[in-house]
C-alpha cells in the first residue's frame, strides 16, 4: 500500500462529504454509498477495498472480514463500534477507529430539547393546535428546574448532559457499572433501582454490546416513579419497546423520547415499523442524535484523518482494538508494521532477523494490548525480500505491512 492512488475506500451510509474530500485529497479512490449494506451485499463489495467507513447500521461481521482480502482499517463514523466484530478485526490485524467525542454535544442537546418538550407537554399542545383546538391549560406542564434527572451510563455523553442539565437547574443522579467521578453536584446512585425510584426523568446512555440486549424492560419501567419520563438515545436493542408501550398506555409513564430502535430501516424513505407509533406522548426520531451538520462534519474529518494517517504512517492513536502507538515518521527510511500475538521474545526475534540481514534500525516502538502486540520499526537503506518473508513466517505474526 505504498502507492496512494491504489488505495480503495468504500464509505457507506451517506458519510459526510468532508470525509470524502479528505480521503480524496490523500490520493485515494473513494466510493461513497448512500445506504447501509447487509452482510451479503457487503461481502460482494469488500474485495479489493483497503479502507471501509460505516456508521451505525452496517454490520461488519466475521464473515465480512474473512472476505476482505485487502482491508487494513475500518472507520466507524460515529461513537459506537458494537456493529463491528472487533475480535475478528484484531485477529486479521485490521485497525478500527471511531469518533468518541465528535457528536457528543449534538446528542446532549437533543436530549435536553426532548426533556423540556415533554415536561412542558409541547408535543400534545402542538398536535391540538394543528387540530384547531386551543388548550391553554397549565395542567401537567412543568418547569425542568428543580426536577431530578437520572442518567444511566455516565460516559462522554452522560457527563456532558449532567453538567448542562445542572445549568438548567435540574438535580442530577447517575448510575454506572464503572467507578465514575461525579461532575458538579451530581449524585452517584448505588444501584439502578435507587435511580429509577427517585428520578423524574430517566435517560439511557449505554453501549450496544450483546450483554446489554433487553437491559431495560418491564421490571425497570415498573420501578420508575409514576408520572416519570423516559429517554433512549443510545442503542435500540437495550430497551423492550413492548414493555415501554404498556407503561405509557397505562399512564405509569407520562412521556417518552426514543431515537434508536431494535430494527431500523436501511435507508431514507423506507417504512419505519415500531410498537411506539401512534402514541401521542412519545417523540420518535430516526436515529438523529448525532445528525447535525456540525457533528457529521467533525466526525467525517476526524475519522478520515485517522484512516489516512494509519495508511501513511501506521500509527494507531485512538484505535479501539489494536495497541495504541505513535512513532513520528522520518525521511529516508522504510517502515515495517508488525502485528503479532502478544508472546515473550517477539521483539528479540524480529531484531535478530534484521541483524542477520544487516538491516539498520533507525527507530522502533512496541506496544501491547491484551492478546496482541503492535511493533513499528523504521529501517534505513535497502533490504531483501527474504527479510519480509522471514518476518511473515514467524509463528506469532498476525499481519505485516511495509510503508515507504
Catalytic residue annotation: 235, 264, 287
Q: What angle do CA 276, 279, 285 make, to 5 degrees?
A: 60
HEC-encoded secondary structure of 76-95: ECCCCCCCECHHHHHHCCCE
Q: Taking the CB of residue 168, how many other CB atoms lie within 10 A of it?
A: 15
Q: CA 398, CA 91: separation in Å to the nearest integer? A: 7
Residue 104: all three cell numbers together: 457528543
Q: CA 11, CA 69: separation in Å to the nearest integer? A: 17
Helices (H), 168-213: 192-198
How many Cα atoms within 13 Å fall on the side-chain side of residue 334? 16
Q: What is the layout of strands, in order, in the sheet containing 360-369?
A: 360-369, 372-380, 333-341, 397-403
Residue recorded with cell 444501584: 191
Q: CA 351, CA 391: separation in Å to the nearest integer? A: 10
Residue 178: all three cell numbers together: 464503572
Sequence-ordered list of residues with C-beta below 8 angstroms from that of 4, at least 6 positions apart, any chain: 26, 27, 28, 311, 312
Closest CA relative to residue 302, chosen from 39, 47, 77: 77
Residue 288: all three cell numbers together: 438523529
Note the residue count of the chain.
404
* C-alpha separations of 182 from 153, 159, 172, 194 in Å: 12, 8, 10, 16
Largest CA distance in the chain: 87
Q: CA 22, CA 334: separation in Å to the nearest integer? A: 25
Q: CA 141, CA 15: separation in Å to the nearest integer? A: 39
Which three-class secondary structure state does DSSP give residue 393? coil
Q: CA 370, CA 288: separation in Å to the nearest integer? A: 34
Amino acid at each position: 500500500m505504498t502507492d496512494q492512488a491504489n488505495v480503495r475506500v468504500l464509505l457507506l451510509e451517506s458519510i459526510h462529504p468532508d470525509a470524502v474530500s479528505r480521503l480524496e485529497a490523500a490520493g485515494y479512490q473513494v466510493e461513497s454509498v448512500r445506504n447501509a449494506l447487509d452482510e451479503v451485499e457487503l461481502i460482494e463489495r469488500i474485495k479489493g477495498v483497503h479502507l471501509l467507513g460505516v456508521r451505525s447500521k452496517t454490520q461488519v461481521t466475521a464473515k465480512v472480514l474473512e472476505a476482505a482480502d485487502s482491508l487494513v482499517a475500518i472507520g466507524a463514523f460515529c461513537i459506537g463500534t458494537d456493529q463491528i466484530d472487533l475480535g475478528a478485526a484484531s485477529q486479521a490485524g485490521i485497525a478500527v477507529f471511531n469518533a468518541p467525542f465528535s457528536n457528543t454535544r449534538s446528542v446532549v442537546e437533543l436530549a435536553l430539547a426532548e426533556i423540556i418538550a415533554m415536561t412542558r407537554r409541547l408535543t400534545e399542545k402542538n398536535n391540538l393546535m394543528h387540530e384547531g383546538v386551543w388548550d391553554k391549560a397549565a395542567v401537567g406542564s412543568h418547569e425542568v428546574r428543580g426536577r431530578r434527572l437520572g442518567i444511566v451510563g455516565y460516559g462522554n455523553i452522560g457527563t456532558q448532559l449532567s453538567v448542562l442539565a445542572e445549568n438548567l437547574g435540574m438535580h442530577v443522579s447517575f448510575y454506572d457499572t464503572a467507578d465514575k467521578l461525579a461532575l458538579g453536584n451530581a449524585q452517584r446512585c448505588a444501584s439502578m433501582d435507587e435511580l429509577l425510584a427517585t428520578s423524574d426523568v430517566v435517560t439511557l446512555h449505554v453501549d450496544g454490546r450483546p450483554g446489554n440486549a433487553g437491559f431495560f424492560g418491564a421490571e425497570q419501567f415498573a420501578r420508575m416513579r409514576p408520572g416519570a419520563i423516559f429517554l433512549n438515545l443510545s442503542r435500540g436493542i437495550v430497551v423492550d419497546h413492548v414493555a415501554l408501550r404498556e407503561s405509557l398506555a397505562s399512564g405509569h409513564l407520562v412521556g417518552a423520547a426514543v431515537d434508536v430502535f431494535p430494527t431500523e430501516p436501511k435507508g431514507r424513505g423506507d417504512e419505519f415499523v415500531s410498537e411506539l407509533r401512534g402514541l401521542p406522548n412519545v417523540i420518535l426520531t430516526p436515529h438523529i442524535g448525532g445528525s447535525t451538520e456540525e457533528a457529521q462534519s467533525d466526525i467525517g474529518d476526524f475519522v478520515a484523518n485517522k484512516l489516512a494517517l494509519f495508511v501513511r504512517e501506521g500509527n494507531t492513536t485512538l484505535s479501539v482494538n489494536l495497541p495504541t502507538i505513535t512513532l513520528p515518521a522520518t525521511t529516508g527510511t522504510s517502515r515495517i508494521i508488525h502485528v503479532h500475538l502478544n508472546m515473550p521474545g517477539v521483539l528479540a526475534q524480529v531484531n535478530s532477523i534484521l541483524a542477520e540481514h544487516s538491516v539498520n534500525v533507525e527507530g522502533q516502538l512496541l506496544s501491547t494490548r491484551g492478546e496482541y502486540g503492535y511493533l513499528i520499526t523504521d529501517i534505513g537503506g535497502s533490504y531483501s525480500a527474504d527479510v519480509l518473508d522471514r518476518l511473515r513466517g514467524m509463528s506469532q505474526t498476525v499481519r505485516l505491512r511495509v510503508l515507504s
